[in-house]
């Protein structure tokens, strides 16, 4: 066999190997997943301070009965609801810090089932006399939505929705 035929044969074998690899043919033994190429989102947080920090907010020092709910919303990076109870003055200060509005300046949503503006939260009912406000924020990735529902009539229980999704 001449040198030219050997080169051509080697080239054909190389093309065949490249073609099989491109077609997905390869070893049948599975490889370990590469953790650096994972597309899975980070695990959800259960720490209310971490959740509020995503939107640049802080939990009031005198907050009690604090809970964090995470919602699995398809296509979202995350969707949390932080709920806390605090004296009305502290909830008012939280609203001023987060939205530059006092409780008296917030809108008054209708009582009953939450509307579309609360769809990213775990709120299941809006009590009579509640207050509501929302705004966008800029998370690390995508677009962020921040909502505040303060339960009426005493205005001491706050539900803070923090959600992020691709822009």
Question: What confidence score (pLDDT) does residue 44 get?
Answer: 73
> Where exactly are the structural domains of the chain?
45-165
161 neighbors 118 (Cβ within 8 angstroms): yes
- Looking at residue 140, its pLDDT comes to 87
Q: Cis peptide before 8, with omega less than 30 degrees from 0?
A: no
What span, in angstroms and rounded, lies between the C-alpha atoms of 9 and 19?
15
What pLDDT sits at residue 17?
39
Consecutive 10-residue averages of pLDDT for the chain (167 residues): 46 40 38 30 78 97 97 92 98 98 97 92 96 95 95 98 93
Q: Are 153 and 128 in contact (CB under 8 A)?
A: yes
Instruction: List the one residue out of 79, 71, 133 whose CA is nearest residue 108.
Output: 133
């Amino acid at each position: 066999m001449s040198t030219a035929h050997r080169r051509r044969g080697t080239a054909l074998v190389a093309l065949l190997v490249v073609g099989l690899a491109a077609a997905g043919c390869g070893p049948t033994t599975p490889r370990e997943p590469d953790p650096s190429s994972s597309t899975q989102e980070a695990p959800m947080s259960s720490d209310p301070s971490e959740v509020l920090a995503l939107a640049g907010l802080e939990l009031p020092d005198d907050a009690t009965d604090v809970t964090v709910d995470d919602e699995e919303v398809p296509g979202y990076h995350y969707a949390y609801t932080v709920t806390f109870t605090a004296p009305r003055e502290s909830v008012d200060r939280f609203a001023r810090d987060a939205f530059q509005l006092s409780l008296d300046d917030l809108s008054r949503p209708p009582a009953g089932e939450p509307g579309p503006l609360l769809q990213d939260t775990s709120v299941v009912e809006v009590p009579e006399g509640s207050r509501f406000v929302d705004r966008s924020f800029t998370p690390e990735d995508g677009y962020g939505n921040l909502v505040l529902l303060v339960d009426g009539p005493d205005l001491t229980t706050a539900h803070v929705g923090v959600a992020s999704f691709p822009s």
